[in-house]
Homo-oligomer: A and B are copies of this chain.
Amino acid sequence: MGRPASQARARTLEEVAAVAGVSKSTVSRVINDSPAVSPAVRDVVHAAIAQTGYRPNRAARNLVTRRTGSIGLIVSEPEGRVFSDPFFASMVRGVTGIVRERDIQLVLVLANDERAQEQVLDYLRDGHLDGALLISSHATDPLPRVLIEEGLPAALSARPLTPMAISYVDVDSVAGARLAVAHLARRGCRRVGTIAGPRDMVAGQDRLAGYREGLANARLPADERLVGYGNFTTSGGAQAMEEMLARADPPDGLFVASDLMAVGALTVLAERGLRVPQDVAIVGFDDSVAAVEARPPLTTVAQPVEEMARALTLTLLDRIADPDGPVTSRIFAPQLVIRDSA
């Protein structure tokens, strides 16, 4: 069944060239899809590659191309938070898909505290990575700005608070929130509240803004006592719900800026004996597994996370290939997924 890999000496370009009866330059051209190779020779070389089981040596290639062939997935939030977010899992799946077919390494980098951020910066400056995917949503995160200044290709998983010369992908959160509120209004809700995200996250701000627009569009009254804030986690949602119930009569409709927070709200509502959707109709955001598993299953705003992740990755790769190219960003349209909670 073949020897252990550690003993199987790797083939080299030279050997393939010998087998194919051509020079190593030619083999190199074939490998790199250079057009300057006649079809006949190309076939011969391909056969030789297959026969020898040749695989290019990454280190040797990197040495001369001055590329590393790897990009970083930089998580600059408390890792517990990020990983537990279903958004992250889908993101990784999307990124991995692209990265794998291009034979690029995805290096996981945690930059969750100040010290780590410094180290990460050093790391990036040392040129260990060709580029970076930044997973972070806090508007106050200094990393994006620093990366631009350092000239390292980067792309963000969310729109930065202040416009900057960096690519990003994001869902149209404002539109998503409007969608949710419109649905609630259509259902007949009159007192529509929201549990918004943190005020220092763009997603938090946008979804709140969209909620307000939605109210206005539906000619529904705005009641600030029905606006709560959570940190996008389950417990944050529960707490916000409790606080809202403490200061005002229950709303009959509620837009919650994340499924996780909605689940938290759900438990509080259940404790209070309020039925969903009869007493309070709820719309979440993300369409994560949490939405499916919630009781009742959540009506929610879906974002095409995997597609977004693919776009994000491709954007970064474009930028790596052409560092002076244009900064391109894409906003994806959200979609309402109707289940039982509203």
Contacts and interface: CB of A to CB of B under 8 A. Distances in A.
Contacts of A107: 70, 105-108
Q: Which of under 10, 10 to 19, 20 to 34, or 35 or more describes the interface residues of A?
A: 35 or more
A323 interface: yes
Interface stretch (A30-38, A57-65, A204-212): A57-65
A290 to B, nearest CB: 8
Interface string A34-52: 0000000000000000000
A119 interface: yes
Contacts of A59: 59-60, 62-63, 68
A92 B289 CA distance: 22
A294 to B, nearest CB: 9
Interface string A56-82: 011110110000101001000001100
B105 A93 contact: no
B126 A55 contact: yes
Given A5-B152, A150-B5, A151-B5, A83 B79 contact: no
Contact of A108 (B108, B234, B270): B108
Interface of chain A: mostly helix, strand, loop or mixed: helix
A219 interface: no
Contacts of A106: 107-109
Contact of A73 (B58, B108, B119, B127): B108
Contact of A270 (B89, B110, B270): B270
A293 interface: yes
A285 to B, nearest CB: 17
A322 interface: no
Nearest to A152: B5
B79 A93 contact: yes
26 contacts: A1-B149, A4-B149, A5-B124, A5-B125, A5-B152, A6-B150, A7-B151, A58-B68, A59-B60, A59-B62, A60-B63, A70-B70, A70-B105, A73-B108, A80-B86, A83-B89, A96-B109, A105-B107, A105-B128, A106-B109, A107-B107, A235-B293, A238-B295, A267-B267, A267-B295, A270-B270
